[in-house]
Structure 1
Amino acid sequence: MGSTADKIKGMANEAAGNVKQGVGKALDKPGLQAEGFAQERKGEAQQALGKTKDAVKKVIDKA
């Protein structure tokens, strides 16, 4: 998967995780809140992976 795809999927997972957390909090569902938290972190990791791929590509392109 390319860096752009990683970043887009990461943003989507982060947004969905935020929504799940909000719904879980509003409905007093700790399990849904936890699931949302985990999904948000997954999204952050995906975005970081995409940024890392970009950085590596820049280093390779300079070589």
Structure 2
Amino acid sequence: MSLEVRYSIRARKEEIDLLEYIIEKFGQEKAKEVFFRIEKVLEEISIMPEMFQVSTKKEGLRRCVFSK
């Protein structure tokens, strides 16, 4: 059973800002690639959240870091 992944308003805005930056600097294809990678990781989080580090800032959150 998958859990619901919810965005904070800040997280959604940061994702949009990131994708707009990538479009501007690297093009739409790269932005699509990053978007789909984010979606894939969110799906993994919903299925098996334990594979990601527990947040030290807020109970019930997990931490996932993206890199190149």
Task: Give the TM-score normalised by the residue count of structure 1.
Answer: 0.41
With CA pairs under 8 Å and 6+ residues apart, which has the higher RCO, 1 or 2?
A: 1
Higher Rg of the two aligned structures: 1
Greater per-residue helix proportion: 1
Task: Give the TM-score normalised by the residue count of structure 2.
Answer: 0.38
